[in-house]
């Protein structure tokens, strides 16, 4: 056996191995909880001592199975937001209809444990099974059925953003990009950097490089390209979401990437503010502290059948908040909005900041 942790080398005794003996070794290994990669070639060598060729083959197959089970399980991807939403609604419908897991699973000819995995979003459920469950639960409202079936299709659908998933340190960001594609309105407050949907390529490169100084050039290029792809989807689509952004005045003063990069970023903001679906307002220094000092956050107002979602980032990772918690973020946004400059005055302040960099 070859252990990655480099413990005392295992000693093989050249005698006829028995199934029970090998099983005991596996049980002992499991108790040590050390990561291991078993050398199957050495195991095969030992099995040649078996007198019966058929017995050797059977033992080899059985041993391969138990040794494979002894390996540490691979890390699984977490369920997506849309899978969690679907599973939660299916569970609520089942409970409201008065059925248990066994009764519902028998109707769709599935094991109760599998239905439980569907509801927990551990495994995505297929559209025909959703349709059957809706019939069994007595869901007759056409809009409700249509919404849930749409959600079931979306669970399995892959978008352009999935191609970037393997390169993301935080895979939950895939959910964030998906939210952008389904939102009818995105309200945001930013006090550290400009929103990703508003960043120029040069500004994005400077921000991403500063955020992860150990990242390679290829990784930075990949992350920047993802940001640019998000902009193409959200800013130029036939039905773009309404974007309402509150920018703390400090963003206009913090020099990122040098004068030229910053000047280009501020001018890009002015161009974006002219679009009918984008509103940019500045929270001036003179506003003081109109609300508790929140960090940056976003509120996604979603199309049916999706619930509204709030999003914020911490050093520990991203946090997604659904109703009723999302109402607190919406209320915080409204309080901040009341203290902002109007769109016209905000544009004048942004323009003045850009001229100062000339």
Each residue of 209-266: pLDDT tens digit?
A: 998 888 899 889 988 998 999 998 888 888 899 999 999 999 999 999 999 999 999 9
Number of Cβ atoms within 10 Å of the Cβ of 299: 25
Percentage with pLDDT > 70 across the chain: 71
What is each CA distance from 40 to 8, 19, 74, 135, 194, in whole angstroms? 19, 15, 19, 51, 54
State the pLDDT at residue 290: 64
Cβ atoms of residues 127 and 149 within 8 Å: yes
H/E stretch holding 36 reads strand 36-37
The per-residue pLDDT for 53 is 52
* Average pLDDT over every residue of 7-25: 37
Burial letters for 168-204: b for 16+ Cβ neighbours within 10 Å, e otherwise?
A: beeebbbbbbbbbebbeebbbbbbebbbbbbbbebbb
- Supply 165's token pair: 């998933």
pLDDT of the residue at 235: 87
Give 11's pLDDT tier (boundaries 50, 70, 90).
very low
Model pLDDT for residues 20-62, shown as the tens digit of each residue? 443 333 333 333 333 334 444 444 444 454 455 555 554 555 5
User: Residue 168, by phi and psi: left (phi above 0), alpha (psi -120 to 50) or beta?
Assistant: beta
Position 190 confidence tier, pLDDT thresholds 50, 70, 90:
very high
The confidence score (pLDDT) of residue 358 equals 81
Lowest mean pLDDT among 125-139, 155-169, 208-222: 155-169
Least confident range from 136-145, 312-321, 325-334: namely 312-321
Please give the pLDDT value at position 7.
Answer: 32
65 CB-near residues (< 8 Å, 6+ apart): none
264-309: per-residue pLDDT in tens? 999 999 999 999 999 999 999 998 876 556 789 999 998 877 789 8
With cut-offs at 50, 70 and 90, classify the pLDDT of residue 158: low
Residue 197 pLDDT > 90: yes
Q: What is the mean pLDDT of residues 192-204?
A: 95
Q: How much is the pLDDT for 233? A: 83
Q: Is residue 344 over pLDDT 80?
A: yes
What are the extents of the domains in the chain? 2-70, 81-156, 160-356
Which pLDDT score is estimated for 168? 43
CA-to-CA distance for 34 and 25, rounded, in angstroms? 13
Paired strand residues for 319: 312
Mean pLDDT of the chain, nearest integer: 77
Share of the chain above pLDDT 90, in %: 42
Rounded mean pLDDT, 326-351: 95
Radius of gyration (C-alpha) of the chain in whole angstroms: 28
DSSP class of 74: P
Tell me the H-state helices in the chain: 19-32, 40-47, 53-70, 81-97, 101-107, 112-119, 127-136, 142-156, 173-182, 201-211, 217-236, 250-253, 259-273, 326-338, 343-356
Q: Does the domain formed by 81-156 have CATH 3.50.50.60?
A: no
Q: Indicate the CATH number for domain 160-356.
A: 3.30.870
Q: Which residue has the higher pLDDT, 171 or 182?
A: 182
């Amino acid at each position: 056996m070859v252990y990655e942790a480099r413990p005392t080398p295992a000693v093989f005794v050249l005698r006829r191995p028995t199934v029970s003996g090998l099983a005991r070794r596996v049980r002992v290994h499991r108790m040590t909880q050390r990561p291991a990669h078993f050398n199957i070639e050495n195991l095969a060598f030992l099995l040649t001592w078996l007198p019966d060729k058929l017995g050797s083959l059977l033992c080899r197959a059985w041993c391969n199975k138990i040794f494979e089970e002894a390996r540490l399980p691979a890390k699984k991807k977490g369920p997506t937001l849309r899978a969690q939403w679907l599973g939660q609604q299916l569970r609520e419908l089942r409970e409201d209809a008065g059925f248990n897991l066994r009764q519902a699973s028998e109707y769709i000819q599935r094991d109760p444990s599998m239905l439980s995995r569907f509801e927990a979003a551990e495994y995505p459920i297929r559209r025909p099974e959703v349709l059957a469950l809706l019939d069994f639960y007595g869901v007759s409202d056409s809009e409700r059925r249509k919404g849930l079936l749409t959600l079931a299709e979306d669970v399995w659908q892959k978008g352009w953003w999935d191609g970037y998933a393997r390169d993301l340190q935080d895979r939950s960001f895939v959910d964030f990009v998906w939210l952008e594609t389904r939102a009818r309105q995105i309200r945001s407050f930013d006090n550290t950097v400009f929103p990703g949907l508003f960043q120029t390529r040069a500004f994005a490169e400077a921000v991403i490089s500063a955020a992860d100084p150990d990242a390679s050039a290829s990784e930075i290029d990949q992350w920047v390209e993802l940001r640019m792809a998000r902009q193409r989807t959200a800013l130029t689509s036939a039905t773009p979401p309404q974007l309402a952004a509150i920018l703390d005045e400090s963003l206009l003063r913090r020099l990122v990437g040098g004068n030229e990069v910053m000047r280009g970023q501020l001018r890009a903001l002015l161009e974006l503010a002219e679009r009918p679906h984008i509103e940019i307002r500045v929270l001036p220094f003179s506003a003081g502290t109109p609300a508790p000092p929140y960090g940056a956050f976003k509120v996604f107002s979603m199309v049916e059948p999706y619930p509204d979602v709030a999003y914020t980032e911490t050093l520990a990772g991203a946090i997604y908040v659904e109703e009723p918690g999302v109402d607190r973020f919406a209320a915080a946004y409204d309080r901040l909005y009341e203290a902002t400059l109007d769109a016209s005055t905000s544009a004048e302040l942004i323009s003045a900041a850009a001229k100062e960099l000339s």
